[in-house]
Chains A and B, each alone.
Chain A
Amino acid sequence: MSFSVNHLSLSVGRKVLLDNLSFSINPGELVVVLGPNGAGKSSLLKVMSGEHSFSEGDMQINGASYRHWSVGDIARMVGVLPQSSQLVFPFTVLEVVMLGRLPHSSGRVRDAEIVKQVIDRVDMTHLMHAAYPSLSGGEKQRVQLARVLAQIWEESALGARYLLLDEPTSALDVAHQQLTLQLARELAGKGIGVMAILHDLNLAAQYGDRIVMLRQGAIAAQGSVEEILKPELIRQLFAIDVSILPHPVSQRPMVVML
């Protein structure tokens, strides 16, 4: 079981946005997608979340072709955290998170329990009854994360679950960046396949199992964190000079800008 893309390509007009990508997200691992601006990270997420169709190749979830699944089925397996949200209507935090239970019919009592738990996990319990539009950007992002968590919180009869995160840390302060990725890590520990688009190389190093490095719509490299975070490759992709040191506590690679 996995969420895999095989020889996936997407062109809009003459422009090639994604060029022959193949990789997979396995249950229980956190895959980080990195790459300079314009490398195709967002396009990839849009295709994988079903928002864009793809021109060539194939996508499979849990052994069946993407097209085989209905929208409702996919919603019971795949949660997607968008980069920003357009919600302007005064739903409360509780009501927004409750929307995450929409694909399920688990009953209101169970739904309410799950919603309480996930709100607590993103540290928003004190603002549970606040109106969503009145929150700060970071708080909104955490509420959206809770909504997506509520969606994939319980095991699915359809197979493994997946979580796609589009720059989940972009609006967050340092503490909540850590909190969010720890949560993603923990979900992976529970058997969920997580894919996160990140910009911060050190967050990728700290939390990722594998890295998929994109450049101009194609995969420049993929592999374990240690294999990918090399000064040579980073210079090629981002045009910066770095040195890789072992992290003093975790011993994982740490990227230091020179």
Chain B
Amino acid sequence: MNLQRENRAQWTMGLLGIFLLCTLVVSVGVGPMSLSLSDSLQVAISRIGLIELNVPPHVVVVVESIRMPRTVLGMLVGAALAVSGAAIQGLFRNPLADPGLIGVSGGAALAAVASIVWGGTVLKPLHDLLGIYSLPMMAFLGGFITTLLVAWIATSRFGTSITTMLLAGVAINIVTGAGIGIFTYMADDAMLRTLTFWQMGSLGGATWDDVMAAATMIMVAVVLILRYAKSLNALLLGESEARHLGVDVGRIKVAVILLSALAVGAAVAVSGMIGFVGLVVPHIVRMSLGPDHRYLLAASALLGALFLLLADMLSRTVIAPAELPIGLITAIIGGPFFIGLIVLRARQGGGL
């Protein structure tokens, strides 16, 4: 149809894919212990059984048990946050809605923290039942309940107000912050370390178990969200217009909110609160490819994965051998970006 944009979208996604692969390889090599490109490639290829392994065993361990899961997790989390950001923005017809800003990540984090601190006591039956999925499921529930709460607060018979939604997000973030604070008082020393990590976000300490737990939930959510691309396009016209075009608005709303909460919950469960990815990434994609969700969602997934890998490489190297929490890096990039967006909109007279 709009051939120019369609071609550009395909090119862009191809390029993003190639960049992502290169970054993936580099990311495995970067860190306190620097590995050569050939070493990390060798480990990867030997796994498929193509060649004899010719690298020291400790390198194999670093690549297989530390760098690889961390890299894969980074990609999953980046894609999850960017896609749910893009979907929520489409649903509420406002490019400023971000899972972090409207409190969804906070709600997910609070539930995750509760799951850690109460894991051995109050929530023990749940943990026994769900195993490695108990933490991501709790985070999903937290995110889901918060999304419903925010949507309920911001929706009146005049429609959904993004201003109210952002204000509700501010309030919810204060409450969840306080909740997490209370849990830190109840936590013992071992828990405390994990809790701090949750509040600033980190991909450090990622295991294949984390990857498995997050991957299933995130992939399901992202693939299903992609299927609503056309309906989200129609929703940009307005809810009644979408209904006149045959879109079952009520069902789409519930589905998208649920799936976004699932993706964000899984991401928060394994990496803590990493903000602004869902705001910055879709915005950049929209500037280049336009608002069509058929391209926006997929390209956001790729760029989100790339963005988080780059941020994670920074976090590992800036103050090596120590690590800067990745949430701080995305906030340093995303905060000013958000302020810039608000200023721009205010100058254009658009308000929120």
Q: Which residues of A are in contact with B by a Cβ distance under 8 Å? A: 46, 49-51, 71-76, 78-80, 82, 85-92, 94-96, 98-100, 102-103, 108, 111-112, 115, 151
In-complex Cβ contact of B238 among A50, A73, A82 (8 A) = A82
**Which residues on B sit within 8 Å (CB–CB) of A102?**
230, 233-234, 245-247
Task: Report Cα–Cα, A92/B1, bound state, in Å.
Answer: 12
Q: Which residues of B are in contact with A by a Cβ distance under 8 Å? A: 1-2, 5, 93-95, 230, 233-234, 236-238, 240-241, 243-248, 286, 290-292, 350
A49 and B2 contacting across the interface, CB-CB below 8 Å: no
B1 and A98 contacting across the interface, CB-CB below 8 Å: yes
The minimal Cβ–Cβ distance linking A28 to chain B, given in whole angstroms, is 22
For this complex, 18 residue pairs linking A to B, each with C-beta atoms less than 8 Å apart, are: A46-B240, A49-B240, A49-B243, A49-B244, A71-B243, A80-B244, A85-B237, A87-B236, A88-B93, A89-B95, A89-B236, A91-B292, A95-B2, A96-B237, A102-B230, A102-B233, A102-B234, A102-B246
Task: Report Cα–Cα, A128/B201, bound state, in Å.
Answer: 45
**Which residues on A sit within 8 Å (CB–CB) of B247?**
71, 102
Residue of A nearest to B350 (CB): A88
**Secondary structure call for the B interface:** loop
B290 and A90 contacting across the interface, CB-CB below 8 Å: yes
**Which residues on B sit within 8 Å (CB–CB) of A50?**
243-244
In-complex Cβ contact of A99 among B94, B95, B234, B248 (8 A) = B234
B290 and A94 contacting across the interface, CB-CB below 8 Å: no
Q: Which 9 A-B pairs have the closest CB atoms?
A: A75-B246, A89-B291, A72-B246, A103-B246, A80-B244, A86-B238, A102-B245, A51-B240, A89-B236
The minimal Cβ–Cβ distance linking B243 to chain A, given in whole angstroms, is 6
**Which residues on B sit within 8 Å (CB–CB) of A86?**
93, 237-238
**Which residues on B sit within 8 Å (CB–CB) of A111?**
1
Residue of A nearest to B240 (CB): A51
**Which residues on A sit within 8 Å (CB–CB) of B240?**
46, 49, 51, 80, 82
**Which residues on B sit within 8 Å (CB–CB) of A99?**
233-234, 237, 245
Most B CB atoms within 10 A — which of A71, A72, A76, A112? A71
**Which residues on B sit within 8 Å (CB–CB) of A100?**
245
**Which residues on A sit within 8 Å (CB–CB) of B2?**
92, 94-95, 98
Residue of A nearest to B6 (CB): A108
**Which residues on B sit within 8 Å (CB–CB) of A88?**
93-94, 350
The minimal Cβ–Cβ distance linking A6 to chain B, given in whole angstroms, is 22
Residue of B nearest to A92 (CB): B2
**Which residues on A sit within 8 Å (CB–CB) of B350?**
88
The minimal Cβ–Cβ distance linking A191 to chain B, given in whole angstroms, is 20
**Which residues on A sit within 8 Å (CB–CB) of B237?**
85-87, 96, 99
The minimal Cβ–Cβ distance linking B252 to chain A, given in whole angstroms, is 11
A85 and B241 contacting across the interface, CB-CB below 8 Å: yes
The minimal Cβ–Cβ distance linking B282 to chain A, given in whole angstroms, is 11
Residue of B nearest to A115 (CB): B1
B93 and A89 contacting across the interface, CB-CB below 8 Å: yes
